[in-house]
Structure 1
């Protein structure tokens, strides 16, 4: 994938896990790959790969990707170099990373809020859940974001790829996950068409 901000050659899930597995703080594969890890199969192409970290652990990006060219999306749509030691403002949610300045982008890190042991949605602080319940693990142990939270984020844009991800994940969602997603959408987008398939 190529953007106005340069080309993407995303790392594989295995490559990302090889880097981030050294962390002792929580991290999760997110985005479309999280949905594929949940359903256990590949069903579409991906232009990038996303990793979710808690905002309080943002400095870990520089530890894991020491020596990389790391940029903050500040404001969205504009990238600026992010140096180790700088605390990103709350307006920055995305970090683009590549091995060197002339190379393609390889991984995107997203930051989410935590309040003690609770994850708090950056879109609506009423949407919360225990951090310990935010992830699952694939057969090889790779942590990934639970599908109901990932679909909650995807529901906002509902792009064609998000619709594809929803269609793949929905049959495998258990009643508790369906209920959580429906409750979250009821608070934030009560007329969202995805709710019809959850109840």
Structure 2
């Protein structure tokens, strides 16, 4: 991603950002996303809170939206799966509607919008990578093959490894992130807990979660 945001776009006030929540009321489920991306060549996975529910095997709470992660180079293939929809680029409190390639290149977060309703249905994270190697956008020294990063449910829905989901959630530690941590850690294997502790120590030294691992 570019270090400099592009010109244009709309700066959103805190009230406008809060009002966007209502536009996610029609967001898809993981199963619906999997149906739309069936057979796609680029690796992808459900991320964030939904990924933890897929790991645990059941929905444990309401989700205001749904996020998926893909390698940056795979975005054109993903984009081609959604004719009739529009991608908006989002970052640093700004939004670029129907974003140009230059605007998309400047941020990693992309919202898929239904132009007929104005509602958002899918949040696409375009991640750094080196071929088949996933690169953590919080610390580029953390690199893992996609075969280790992407797990699958019994019915084949791909989701981000839970220890990596919690690593990303550790940055803000909102109340829902703490609840997700508390609900997920008992289900992690010893190896997953050790990996999460190691990565937290690298990315967020002295994080409060380290004492719980």
When the two structures are superposed, what TM-score results if normalisation uses the length of structure 2? 0.85
Conservation of the 8 A alpha-carbon contact between 1:69 and 1:101: no
SS in 2 for 1:3: helix
Alignment of 1:74-93 (within 5 A): 75-82=91-98, 86=101, 90-93=105-108
Q: Which runs of 5+ in 2 are unaligned?
A: 1-16
Greater helix fraction, Structure 1 or Structure 2: 2
Match of 2:205 in 1: 190
- Alignment equivalent of 2:169, drawn from 150, 154, 166: 154
Q: Which runs of 5+ in 1 are unaligned?
A: none
Please list the CA deviations of residues 36-63 of structure 1 after superposition, one character each: whole Å capped at 9, or x if unmatched: 0001121111100011111111112321
When the two structures are superposed, what TM-score results if normalisation uses the length of structure 1? 0.90
SS in 2 for 1:122: coil
Alignment of 1:69-108 (within 5 A): 69-73=86-90, 75-82=91-98, 86=101, 90-100=105-115, 102-108=117-123
Once residues 36 and 49 of structure 1 are traced to their aligned partners in structure 2, the CA distance between those partners, rounded to angstroms, is 12
Cα offset, 1:90, TM superposition: 4.9
Cα offset, 1:24, TM superposition: 1.1
Match of 2:4 in 1: none
Cα offset, 1:103, TM superposition: 2.6
Change (3 A) 1:175 1:42: same
Once residues 70 and 125 of structure 1 are traced to their aligned partners in structure 2, the CA distance between those partners, rounded to angstroms, is 26
Match of 2:42 in 1: 25
Conservation of the 8 A alpha-carbon contact between 2:112 and 2:120: yes
Alignment of 1:6-17 (within 5 A): 7-9=23-25, 10-17=27-34
Cα offset, 1:77, TM superposition: 2.0
Match of 2:195 in 1: 180
